[in-house]
Amino acid sequence: MSLPRIAVDAMGGDEGVRVMIEGAALARRRHDRFKFLLVGDQERIKAALEDHPNLRAASEILHSSDVVAGDERPTQALRRAKTTSMGMAINAVKTGAAGAAVSAGNTGALMAMSKLALRTMPGIDRPALSALLPTLGDNDLVMLDLGANTECDARNLVQFAIMGAAYSRIATGRDTPRVRLLNIGTEETKGTEDLQVAAAQLKEAADGLSLSFDGFVEADKLGRGDVDVVVTDGFSGNIALKAVEGTARFVADLLRRSFASSLRSKFGFLISRPATELLKHHLDPNNHNGAVFLGLNGIVVKSHGSASALGVANAVAVTARLLEHNLTERIMADLERLGGNHLRRTARAAE
């Protein structure tokens, strides 16, 4: 079976070509049916590929020496979309030369270029940035929006829920993901008018959308594992995400200091090392790397700029799974069902 190529912006991220190529090579071992379009400086990519013959045999290089800087404004980056490695990777998705693009570069520029080149799919007003977060349960949590839209109305939140549920079905394998709206309380009277309207619409539409909706969730419950999709506006979502990431770093640093504080603590560390290694693995952002721009006519995945090769591999693996399971088509089908449900409700109300 022939699968679409994955375009990789080899110049993005803190470490650039070496880590991006090494990460793509690791991902290629897991998803060996995929081929790659590596976009960036041709000579540097060729040199990096010398250590990865398996990836080299499955790749084509698209040369670009122009790079979007990490601190570059999106409006400036847009002017060079046709010449930068990031812009050319996205354009490959637009033209059909690739089925998806992965970049570890400037998030704002990536969002702006993706939205301009690919446009939002019919039935979606705004794309949303979504990521997988670890939980105490046996499922990862899909959360969106994480910063693409600082203000959202009820219609946007309902659309985010549909997109997040489609992503969750691929990521977790759950047929009816448990969807909640992030709020300051779980009572029906809590939150803004937009949250309450979105909750009412999701309750009414949930049966026809292969999702389970039961109101609100508070931020301190995100990691419990009893929710699969959490929906919010980009302002609140970005703050919540950074609070979670900051707490994870705090716990890791606190443990490190505690174990180094005395000889007895160091001995205790040796005894508890298997447990601490498991905790380290669970909290390592590289193991959950790969944020997805949902709602576009094409798949674009954002890797952390500081991601290791393993982190890049996970971002590429996320991209491969979304292509294998036809994420865009799934979202379109759910949107059509939502539209059909709305028409039926309108007809019943008119009778």
Of 151, 152, 161, 69, whose CA–CA distance to 110 is shortest? 69
Q: Is the dihedral of CA 14, 19, 20, 23 positive or negative?
A: negative
Looking at the structure, tell me whether residues 115 and 161 fall in a common domain.
no
340 occurs within a structural domain: no
Summarised one tens digit per residue, pLDDT across range 71-129 is 889 899 899 999 999 999 999 999 999 999 999 988 889 999 999 999 999 889 999 99
41 occurs within a structural domain: yes
Return d(Cα 59, Cα 38) in angstroms, integer. 7
- The pLDDT score that the predictor gives to residue 259 is 63
Q: Percent of the chain having pLDDT more than 90?
A: 46
pTM of the entire predicted model: 0.85
Summarised one tens digit per residue, pLDDT across range 318-351 is 999 899 888 999 898 888 877 645 434 433 443 4
Summarised one tens digit per residue, pLDDT across range 283-306 is 566 667 788 999 999 999 998 888
Question: Cβ contacts of residue 48 below 8 Å, gap of 6+?
Answer: 10, 17, 18, 21, 22
Asked if pLDDT for residue 8 goes beyond 50, the answer is yes
- The pLDDT score that the predictor gives to residue 288 is 73
Domain count, the chain: 2
Return d(Cα 287, Cα 26) in angstroms, integer. 13
Return d(Cα 125, Cα 123) in angstroms, integer. 7
Looking at the structure, tell me whether residues 278 and 149 fall in a common domain.
yes
Q: What is the CATH number of the domain that holds 115?
A: 3.40.718.10
337 occurs within a structural domain: no
Q: How many CB atoms lie within 10 A of CB 215?
A: 18
Distances (CA, A) of 59 to 51, 68, 90, 307: 14, 23, 17, 22
Asked if 17 and 41 touch (Cβ cutoff 8 Å), the reply is yes
Of 292, 284, 286, whose CA–CA distance to 321 is shortest? 292
314 occurs within a structural domain: no
Return d(Cα 36, Cα 262) in angstroms, integer. 50
Looking at the structure, tell me whether residues 152 and 266 fall in a common domain.
yes
The token pair at 21 is 């190529």
Structural domain that includes position 54: 1-121+295-305
Alpha helices in the chain (DSSP H): 17-30, 42-49, 53-56, 74-78, 85-95, 107-118, 154-172, 193-205, 234-259, 263-283, 309-324, 327-350
- The pLDDT score that the predictor gives to residue 284 is 60
348 occurs within a structural domain: no
Return d(Cα 204, Cα 227) in angstroms, integer. 19
Mean of the per-residue pLDDT values for the chain?
84
